[in-house]
Amino acid sequence: MNWISSLFFRYWRNVHFSAVVVVSVILILNYPAINGLISQAAIGSFYYPFAKLKNLVVRLSSVDRENEMLRQSLVDASVRLSRLDEAERENLRLRAVLGFEPPTGYTLMPAQVLSISGGRIPTAAVINRGEHDSVYVNQPVINRDGLIGRISSVTADFATVQLLTDPVNRVAVRVADSREMGIAKYTSHGMILDNFPIQGDIATGQQIVSSGLGGVYPAGLIVGTVTEVERPAEAAFSNVDIAPAANFNSLEELFLLRPGGS
Amino acid sequence: MRLIPYLIYLILIAMHQVFLQDMTSIAGVRIDLAGLIVMAIALYKSEVITLWFGLVAGVVWAAGMPDAFGWYGLLLALVGVTAFHLREKLNLESFYSKILFMLGGLVVHSMGMTIIEGGDGVMTRLWTNALPDGVYTTIVALIFLLFKDGVITYQKFKSIF
């Protein structure tokens, strides 16, 4: 036995080297039982904790990404929802407009308001119709509620509507019931009926319509409703306040009146 | 022989394989950590330790490839033991000689791994993958040697501030 140990210690380096080579050759020969066991042991003891950690990190980062994506889709969904709400409102408006009949002798050309200008009260609106649509200056503009104004300028694709709220825009009107005439105009106090005789037949709640005498607006377009009538003593004219039929703060779909048609 | 440090080296190799490798790779050039550790052991430890640790490190490094880890183990053991014998023959007192020694060993190991991997374009990959891997790992080895040889120490680092 002694000689074996002395031989081992004399050539110990070669023994180790040979052992390493033998082990390597066994591994290279790839016996599934041995290699599988070693592989499993190495993976289970050295790799598994790190693989678990990596999976956790990957999962956390994917959760973060997913969170970001969901947040983005939530924003998209809310934008779409508000668009749908808007479309629903538009749908309701257009449904209301659908049965809208133009005055006799006119046809309607729909137009969309692109922008509104003016101070506290809007006085002008730009619409998406122009010379290409045969729009002309002084063409009457209405909506489903009543008279809106007239075209004041036209470009190739756009036109500007001078609204009734513009103080320089005056409309020849009459009281729908009594047929008495006057001039409707907008002042800093709101719409009034100007030059209406003190003895004229007018009362609160009566409708004011265009008379058709000014040459711009056809007769019979609703301008507003009388809200207050004041007859000062020793005055020639009454003070008549009118509530405009149209809401000038929410103009969207307008109609241009075009002569012709039934 | 204390086993704990070698177990830590093996854990480091596994950790590097699982995620550090991706984090530290630059344009596909990776650190050959197993080769670096075996070369460092060949530089500072005994032949037997280098031999066995090379084999085990190669097997652990390629644990996911049971049909090939024998080759990787043998390669790393041979590179380690060859490096050890070269170290015995050469004068490696100089810092630069150690760096060159590391570079040689790491490039040979990377090339060996490329050959074992086989597949198409092995000769090309020797230049495009193995050589850059060896050089990149040598840069890491340079940092290691700077600390190991005391060129950079905690005290020196602290004295800067």
Question: What's the token pair of residue A153?
Answer: 């300028």
In a domain, residue A98? The reply is no
Considering only CB atoms, which chain B residues are within 8 Å of A16? 47-48, 51-52
Contact B67 A35 (CB under 8 A): yes
Domain total for chain A?
2
- Mutation target among B3, B46, B59 for the A interface, most CBs of A within 10 A: B59
Closest chain B residue by Cα to residue A30: B67
A23: closest CA of chain B, how far (Å): 8
Unique residue bearing structure tokens 């190799």 = B13
Residues A121 and A231 in one domain: no
Q: Is there a domain that residue A50 lies in?
A: no
C-beta atoms of A35 and B66 within 8 A: yes
Backbone φ, ψ for residue A130 (5° rounding):
-145, -155
Q: B10 or B117, which is more confident?
A: B10
Of A17, A24, A51, the CB nearest to B18: A51
A201: domain CATH number is: 2.40.10.350
Residues of chain A positioned with their CB less than 8 A from the CB of B74: 20-21, 24-25, 27-28
- The ipTM (two decimal places) reads 0.84
Contact B14 A47 (CB under 8 A): yes
Tokens, residue A111: 């137009």
Look at residue A129 and tell me whether its pLDDT is greater than 80.
yes
- Amino acid at position B128, single letter: T
Is residue A212 included in any domain, yes or no? yes
Q: Both A240 and A191 in a single domain? A: yes
- CB-based contact (8 Å) between A11 and chain B? no
Specify if A110 maps to a domain: yes
A111 bridge partner residues = A254
Give the Cα separation of B33 and B23 in Å (integer). Answer: 13
Is residue A116 one of the residues assigned to a domain? yes
If asked whether residues A190 and A156 sit together in one domain, one would say no
User: Measured between alpha carbons, how far is A29 from A42 in angstroms, rounded to an integer?
Assistant: 19
DSSP result, A86-125 = HHHHHHHHHHHHHT--PPTTEEEEEEEEEEEEESSSEEEE
Query: Which stretches of B3-153 are DSSP H helices?
Result: 4-15, 21-24, 33-44, 47-61, 69-89, 95-117, 122-125, 131-148
- Residue B10: list chain A partners with CB under 8 A: 46
Q: How many CA atoms lie within 13 A of A9 on its CB side?
A: 5
Find, among A205, A198, A206, A169, the residue nearest to A186 by Cα: A169
Q: Is residue B135 scored above 60 in pLDDT?
A: yes
**A151 plus A184 within the same structural domain:** no
Which of the 8 DSSP states describes residue B64?
A: T
pLDDT band (50, 70, 90) for residue B92: confident
What is the CATH classification number for the domain harbouring B139? 1.10.1760.20
Q: How confident is the model at residue B6 (pLDDT cuts 50, 70, 90)?
A: very high
Domain region containing A188: 171-244
Those residues whose C-beta lies under 8 Å from the C-beta of residue B155, and which sit 6 or more positions away, are none
- Closest Cα partner for A182 from A164, A165, A163, A202? A202
- Report the chain A residue with the minimal C-alpha distance to residue B64: A39
Domain that residue B36 falls in: 4-160
Q: Are residues A214 and A230 in the same domain?
A: yes
Q: Which of A12, A27, A50 sits opposite B73 (nearest CB)?
A: A27
Q: Find the CATH number of the domain harbouring A154.
A: 2.40.10.340
Statement to judge: residues A128 and A143 lie in one domain: yes
**Residue A135 domain-assigned (yes or no):** yes
Chain A residues whose beta carbon lies within 8 Å of the beta carbon of residue B55: 20, 23-24
**Minimal Cβ distance to A43: which of B10, B15, B64:** B64
Q: Which one of B51, B63, B67 has the shortest CB-CB distance to A46?
A: B63
DSSP state of B127: I
Residue B105: pLDDT band by 50, 70, 90 thresholds? very high
Domain check: are A149 and A175 in the same one?
Answer: no
* Closest Cα in chain B to A33: B66
pLDDT in tens, A61-110: 899 899 999 999 999 999 999 899 888 888 887 777 766 777 778 888 88
A228 and A121 within one domain = no
Which 8-state DSSP code applies to residue B128? I
B19/A32 Cβ within 8 A: no
Residue at A218 is within a domain? yes
Number of domains in chain B: 1
- Among A17-21, A145-149, B115-119, the range scoring the smallest mean pLDDT is B115-119
Same domain membership, residue A156 and residue A255: yes
